[in-house]
């Protein structure tokens, strides 16, 4: 594989790889894993056609979010504090793709979760039996939510 390496004059060291791996594992377990676990509250397995549509929507949302926020992270006032971490080693390799400042991981990774939250089924929310504070669905104009639907069930008289 050495003949295919772009920067032959800059060999990768085990020390550099170890430093990147520590940051990567920290980001995965301390930021991404809790966010992933948190999305299970809002999701259920839909039919395959809806799953495909939701996946497409999530990809579009995440890609758009990543593009614009990544550009913002290159702004001259914040670049040296956040995005520069991703570019500190000049010889990229596979693990380098996710090596980043923890704040960059959080900011750019949020796009993935926005897609999930926007495409989740509101039926689950209103039937959950809980009025969750800081529910993102409450940001939707005219979303009646749990309280309205709970009232609907309480006042059912069987006719």
Q: What is the pLDDT of residue 42?
A: 61
Task: Put residue 7 in one of left, alpha, beta given phi > 0 → left and psi -120 to 50 → alpha.
Answer: beta
Digit-coded pLDDT (tens) for 91-107:
777 777 788 899 999 99
Digit-coded pLDDT (tens) for 107-158:
998 888 888 777 766 666 666 666 767 776 777 666 667 677 777 777 766 6
The 3-state DSSP composition of the chain as helix, strand, coil percent (nearest 5) reads: 65, 0, 35
Digit-coded pLDDT (tens) for 39-93:
766 666 667 787 788 888 888 999 999 999 999 999 999 999 999 988 887 777 7
CA distance 41 to 72: 31
Q: What is the pLDDT of residue 75?
A: 94
Give the three-class secondary structure for 95.
helix
Averaged pLDDT score across all residues of the chain: 79
Angle at 42 between CA 35 and CA 143, to 5 degrees: 120
């Amino acid at each position: 594989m050495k003949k295919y390496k772009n920067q032959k004059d800059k060999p990768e060291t085990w020390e550099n790889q170890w430093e990147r791996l520590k940051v990567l594992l920290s980001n995965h377990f301390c930021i991404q894993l809790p966010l992933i676990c948190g999305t299970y509250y809002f999701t259920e397995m839909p039919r395959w056609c809806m799953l495909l549509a939701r996946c497409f929507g999530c990809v579009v949302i995440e890609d758009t979010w990543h593009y614009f926020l990544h550009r913002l992270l290159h702004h001259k006032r914040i670049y040296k504090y956040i995005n520069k971490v991703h570019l500190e080693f000049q010889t990229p390799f596979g693990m380098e793709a996710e090596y980043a400042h923890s704040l960059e991981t959080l900011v750019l990774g949020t796009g993935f979760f926005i897609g999930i939250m926007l495409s989740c089924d509101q039926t689950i929310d209103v039937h959950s039996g809980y009025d969750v504070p800081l529910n993102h669905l409450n940001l939707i104009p005219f979303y009646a939510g749990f309280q309205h639907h709970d009232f609907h069930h309480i006042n059912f008289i069987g006719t």
